Amino acid sequence: MEKKKIRIGITHGDLCGVGYEVILKTFAYPMMCEMCIPVLYGSPKAATYHRKMLNLTTNFSLINHPSEAQEGRLNMISCFDEEVKIDFGVSSPESGHAALLSLQRAVKDYKNGDIDALVTAPINKASIQSKDFNFTGHTEYLEREAGEGKEALMILMSPLMKVALVTTHLPVKDIAANITKEKIENKINIFHSSLKSDFTISIPRIAVLSLNPHCGDNGLLGTEEKDIIQPAIEAMREKGIQCFGPYPADGFFGAGIYTHFDGVLAMYHDQGLAAFKALSSTDGVNFTAGLPIVRTSPDHGVAYDIAGKGEADENSFRQAVYAAIDIWNNRQIDKEAYANPLKIIAHEKGHKGGKEQIE
């Protein structure tokens, strides 16, 4: 199948963080604009300010609609005209509102079929809160706005591993109550489907981590492994999904056992992501699996501590763009492969005179 050059919508994230810096650094290389047609949803004034303060030279062209986007350049759609004070490293409601306007316009254009995939720069989850955004992150927002009733799965990916989460942005005190057999089974199913269609892995092998230290030590440290996690694994294996565990997280990552699996399902945010970020350095990507929309982002936050200093490493954002392109193309290949399945037919089995059904 011939690959088309897809339109990638890009949100500018929090104006007081490193969003514009990693975006402008990424598209300073002409090669990036040869791989896709980038459409940045932002503010020309804010972008110009960041470019000047950081001594960057990346140019962009203003357009009114994604259909006007040109190949070979960074295209920008202005999402608001008002002045916004940019105070590097400082959270503000104005910056959060600007991030929301960018995200809303990008999602609207995606739903209208005007962009193919979405790459989001980091937001401040506190400053973006409003009557229009009452979520703990992009994942939950996109599940409602562009999920079409499907459930999202957060996957952190790098060349080393792919780590998915059963629970995402929850207080630690609420984690155990949110670990259920049904939820684990559902997340395994979404993970398995994503590994097949988004990453072209024909028979994925998934490792499932325990919740308690040492897998609960036979009930001494908790019974979730015996009562919830192990039954969920067994139920999914009966359905033909290759999943294994539960594994204690410390030994699993410390001994490099993750290298034997295509995906790792962690029970909660820091259990999986602390190890992931320690091992994946600057090339990690956050991918929202399970939804019709392809959305990726860098695996770091707004980085207020280095905002405005020119020190931000753009590699994670660049990898997020690469991943969005690859995943979108893989989905098209997967759709084409299963678009016209052979009908089940019956034919004679020779001298036995019986029939068998084949595809």
Model pLDDT for residues 186-235, shown as the tens digit of each residue: 999 999 999 999 999 999 999 999 999 999 888 888 899 999 999 999 99
Per-residue model confidence (pLDDT) at position 345:
57
DSSP SS3 for 321? helix
Average pLDDT (139-151) is 94
Which pTM does this prediction carry? 0.90
Average pLDDT (31-45) is 95
Residue 207 one-letter amino acid: A
For the chain, the average pLDDT equals 92
Residue 208 φ then ψ, to 5°: -115, 125
In terms of Cα–Cα distance, which of 331, 69, 55 is closest to 200?
A: 331
Distance CA 244, CA 234 (A): 9
End-to-end C-alpha distance for the chain, whole angstroms? 23
Per-residue model confidence (pLDDT) at position 337:
77
Q: Give residue 335's pLDDT band: very low, low, confident or very high (50, 70, 90).
A: confident
